[in-house]
Structure 1
Amino acid sequence: MSDAAERSRTREFFAARAAGWDAKFPDDGPRYAQAIAELRLDAGQFVLDAGCGTGRALPLLRAAVGPRGTVLGVDLTPEMVELARAHRRHAAVLVADCTRLPLADAGVDLVFGAGLISHLPGPGTGLRELARVTRPGGRLALYHPVGRAALAARHGRRITPDDLRAEPNLRPLLAGCGWRLTGYTDTDTDERYLAVAVRTHDDRTHDDD
């Protein structure tokens, strides 16, 4: 499938589900709060919520960076962004493609991506673009409020060896896109998935998606 077709499929999938998204997962809030607290953001930092969906993380990210910080939510799906704009006092929100972000180089301190990795076209193209906008030493947090096994079970599947989010697959992918994996948690229960990577100082990347 081409990147354009994949973007279109992602947009259509979330557009049809936007209105009922938060009601479908009512218990995720505390899990988001715990993950964001563990990231230990500093006051005044710039956080990009990539694939922000309905914006459930935006108030938590704002609280973490304080009034001097910057929080920006971007999502490919206009219907999701419209719902996320209910959090406009916490963050700016806009429709944008994570493979073509309207941001300058090396300005972001943390990219927070909840459920993002499996929806990035490529996905190396998106990871390289996120690296472009992140300062050297800045971080990428790939998050999901349940572990891989629990998520697969929700969809009636089992984890396969080629799962992109598995540590042996994710580590080299990130390394080829300007990131170094520094933390990895994947629980067998309904707790969470969290992979944290640091933006390297080496700008060389590889096209081996």
Structure 2
Amino acid sequence: MYGLARCAGPMSYALSAEAAEFYESTFVPALFDSMARRAVGAAGLTPGRAVLDVACGTGAVARAASSVVGPTGTVVGVDRNPAMLAVARRLRPDLRWLEGDACALPFAAGTFDVAISQAGLMFFGDPVAALRELGRVAGRVVVQVPGRLSESAGYRALAEVVSRHAGPATGDLLSVYFSAGSPAFLADLMDQAGLLVDRFETWTGATRLDSLDTFLAVELLPFGALEPDVHDRIVADCRTALASFVSPTGAVAAPIEVQLVTARALPGARAGGPVGMLSG
């Protein structure tokens, strides 16, 4: 679930070109496509609207938004990871992709109708500043993040196995992905950013992959070069710990809680910030 270098700060996970391609071909259809459709549905888009996808990765949300706003609409994706953006450009060269910082978006206030950020907030160096920027450049803000690790059974089991064999510090790296998943924490961030929450939804999705081996190849990617014996112990332990999420055919469906927030900037909160243009 990692590899998404988002907002300047301590939590940056940069993928190589090969890893970004693997991410798009494997993990996006496993989970992020379904999440993207949900986020775009919550945004209330119509043809002709202007949409900004912040922390766009390989462009799952942008592609879903484009199918709704159509040729008369505008879709722009922003991310800090060049490898992710290269995949996004290859898949949809007709959309605009920019390398940039979520905490300093290069657009004038009110440039977009909707700004959407999926699975990026927990990686932003300053999440309040990033949310404030989303509210500055768009009339509506949609934020979707993984929920609580405690309520995401498949990932909770994986985190316990990783911590047991690779140490708590390595296990904490997986926990970071769920670090923005508390409803109270999200509500506080929105309030600090001057955003008025219109809707807060908690739902349960699932990461669906063809085998446990594929699931582990994706989820262990951010840990880099684990010692071979540690990696082997994690994989062996997971065959037992994650057995209840594996079907008779070998396919995996790992439950994950998701938080989806729709908000808008409070009056007077959209002034200031960088000035930019869609053209160029």
TM-score normalised by L of structure 2: 0.61
Quote how far apart the aligned CAs of 1:154 are: 6.8
- Contact preservation (8 Å) 1:178, 1:202: no
Q: Aligned partners of 1:131, 1:78: CA distance in 2, in Å?
A: 25
Label 1:178 to 1:15 Cα distance change in 2 as closer, same or farther (>3 A). farther
Q: Aligned partners of 2:45, 2:270: CA distance in 1, in Å?
A: 27
Label 1:202 to 1:155 Cα distance change in 2 as closer, same or farther (>3 A). farther
Residue 142 (structure 2) aligns with: 141
Quote how far apart the aligned CAs of 1:155 are: 5.3
Quote how far apart the aligned CAs of 1:152 are: 4.8
Give ranges in structure 2 of 5+ residues lacking alignment. 1-6, 161-171, 205-254, 272-280
Q: Aligned partners of 2:158, 2:267: CA distance in 1, in Å?
A: 39
Residue 156 (structure 1) aligns with: 159
- Contact preservation (8 Å) 1:11, 1:76: no
The structure that is helix-richer by fraction is 2
- Contact preservation (8 Å) 1:178, 1:204: no
The answer to which structure, 1 or 2, has the higher relative contact order (CA under 8 A, 6+ apart) is 2
Q: Aligned partners of 2:270, 2:45: CA distance in 1, in Å?
A: 27
Q: Aligned partners of 1:67, 1:154: CA distance in 2, in Å?
A: 44
1:173 paired to 2:189: yes
- Contact preservation (8 Å) 1:179, 1:199: yes
Give ranges in structure 1 of 5+ residues lacking alignment. none
Q: Aligned partners of 2:91, 2:157: CA distance in 1, in Å?
A: 28
TM-score normalised by L of structure 1: 0.79
Count of equivalent residues: 195
Q: Superposition pairs for residues 1-209 of structure 1, below 5 Å? A: 4-6=8-10, 9-12=11-14, 14-15=15-16, 17-25=19-27, 26-28=29-31, 29-134=33-138, 138-144=139-145, 147-148=147-148, 149-150=151-152, 152-153=155-156, 156=159, 163-188=179-204, 189-190=255-256, 192-203=258-269
- Contact preservation (8 Å) 1:117, 1:165: no
Label 1:43 to 1:10 Cα distance change in 2 as closer, same or farther (>3 A). same
